[in-house]
Every structure is written in C-alpha cells, then in structure tokens.
Amino acid sequence: MTKQAYLDFLLDWLAPLGEITSRSMMGGYILYCDGAVFALVADNALYLKADDATRPRFEALGLTPFRPFPDKPGTMQFYPPPVEFFEDTDVMAEWGRAAVEVGRRALVKRKRKTRHPPRRSR
C-alpha cells in the first residue's frame, strides 16, 4: 500500500473520532483530531499519542514507543495501537479517543505555558 493510500485509509477509519486532518512531517504524517495532535504515521505504521495516564495500557500489552531513529537512543510518546484496533471499531474508538484526549491535554498545557503574565506598568 502506498503512503498516500495508507493515509487515506487511516483518515477514513478514524473519522468517527472527529474531524481528522493530517500534515506531512519528515517523511511521515502528524494526525490531528479537531486541531489536537493525537497520532503520527511513519513507515506506513500508525502510532497513538500517549502520556503518563495512558502509557501503562500500551506497556501492559508489550507495545514499545516510536523511535524516530532506530539505531539511536530516544523515543517519542507515541505507541502502536493493539492489533484489534484495525479489526474492531469499538476498540478503535476506545484507543483513539484516549489518544485524542492526550492530545487535548497537551494542547491545554502548551497554551498555559505560552501565556505570559501581564506586565506591570512603571
């Protein structure tokens, strides 16, 4: 399957989660749901965004985080979904919604960090 065909499949498969959009990034794609980053696609594989709240679910299944450079240390907070993700729409919805919520939490944190306190006039 070509990269574009796989991306089109994912956009269709994930559509029940909300408005799914993508942006090309370094040979892969970042996926957004209603403006929040929730997944990435690299080498025709999907990875869902995780955080401290959801990471244990991935690790309990023996899933390992995405490594942008397999021959170097360092990972990103994105994990492959369980195999059932592509077989059962309920599983897709459960794991997909969790990843979207992680993306939304990260978006809120980023907005809080970028706010600057009001300046006092002198």
For residue 26, the model assigns a pLDDT of 84
Contacts made by residues 10-19, CB under 8 angstroms, sequence distance 24+:
10/41, 10/46, 13/86, 13/92, 14/39, 14/92, 14/96, 16/89, 16/92, 16/93, 16/96, 17/93, 17/96, 17/97, 17/100, 18/100
Q: Average pLDDT for residues 13-22, to the nearest whole number?
A: 96
For residue 71, the model assigns a pLDDT of 74
Position 13 confidence tier, pLDDT thresholds 50, 70, 90: very high
Contact 77, 50 (CB under 8 A): yes
CA 120, CA 122: separation in Å to the nearest integer? 6
Domains defined for the chain, CATH in brackets: 3-114 (3.30.1460.30)
pLDDT digit string, tens, across residues 25-78:
888 999 999 999 999 999 999 999 999 999 999 999 999 999 887 777 766 899
